[in-house]
Structure 1
């Protein structure tokens, strides 16, 4: 069930998903049922029999110049305003077709037509040792997906055969689910500050380059999925699948181990009463909580939360953590509303820094 929950969360969060698994394990059937359950119009495109022009558009001469005419399936998705684009058998698409898919997967642009934000991209592929003719995914294309390995659960298959197939009870994202995104972005940034070598690790092996690996793009996707998972209170197994699907298993294990060891307070509790807050001595913990507090304050910015965040940063300076607090101070200063007064006492240590950056 964890893999299905992870797939549902990623689709609703708008993060492109690539499901890996041998033929016949139900990848296509599950994606079709998921589209029905989420009330999303489904467009299935068999990548292996398409030409690059089917994705980049056919050149059409008009009075105002040459336009790249999109295919019919793209126009249907635009008319609907939402939907799911399912790119089947993507691992058997030749390199030229994979190149044409780059803008679609990342930017949702087909020819000269932009797909609506409500369109999610899902693809499926067979492992290299389980297809007879095909290509490894190019590194640029692979790094645009959250990779989910689709395994066969015998118990669920038997239940489905006897009782019928169903995917009811999937997590649903509320319209305001992105509220925790700044906090999760700050969390990921804190980890990368602590483990800078994990920001970018392009595999040298062609096979691994076609799977999940760490990059600025994939870490950004991971932060988005962490926020979505947080919004539906996803189980740890689903969270691990989503993060490892973006940045790879090794980087994911390091991130989750680091996160469990942080033991951070709730940023909302800190903002509610900054006077009781004590900054951790460990540098990575201090950076993470300050970033999270500022992100939470900006996420629901009021004059009271603005002042509370500055109080927290001032306490960090008093505890000898000025350098760590400086990054958060810049972000907080950038979010200032014109009507907010400047808390001179709390700001005094940061004034030269903010003036140098043109923020005061």
Structure 2
């Protein structure tokens, strides 16, 4: 069953405290690990990340060690197993890239997943398993997961990224507005399946994240090279074309200086750019000017872009909702946008 990031977050938030293990599948770089980390923080759990692909079966069983009387041997836990067995706080044990692990390592996980113990060592009740894996078709070295291992999970879901969830994250994370605007304009480039086995990147939420982090520092002369190395040449070329439009538009400062007369773009690409950029500049102090320009956008038939502007501004700066301009705007067209009417 396919889920979007918001649905996966809600599912894990319900299942983790109830100690129900979940297996998440999906293509590389779409945020599986990040969502698990967010859920751990939201539910007050510590997070233990294991990578079974580099493990040996003994990592899940413990090392055999002769008993003091010489009558036999016991398995002593070490590493991640020792940390989980001895944990005293609620813990998510996250098995990342489980599908890349050898069958022997996967088999060693079965006893932990179902019986929650290995030898004489039982896991505390506050430990919950979450696992993630890419799919066989993702060129990620996944050979599959043993059916008995799959059946140990309470549910198996496939994560699919959406531009809405990515945008909400990007606004909260102060991703450059020009990148948010571009991916809104070209949402099909948020995640693209890699078909080549060449050593190159493909567009994904993870690789767009690299673009976001390098945008403030990459020299203008090296932008195409840098972005192509992050998301591939095709996506990078389209981004550069969009940035050419973005950089020729009126700046947010210029719009806020003259919100009554500042030009309103006519093309979708330019409208996405202006709406996203202006939202990034909005504050409770200047929101009266933002309202003036937004009302002009609505009057010009650009209601969808006005809605993006207002919603982004509130997401980025929640205090705007306490401003006099925001409260006054509730009685007009902007209020209808806020209420989803």
- Name the TM-score, length of structure 2 as normaliser: 0.48
Bigger Rg, structure 1 or 2: 2
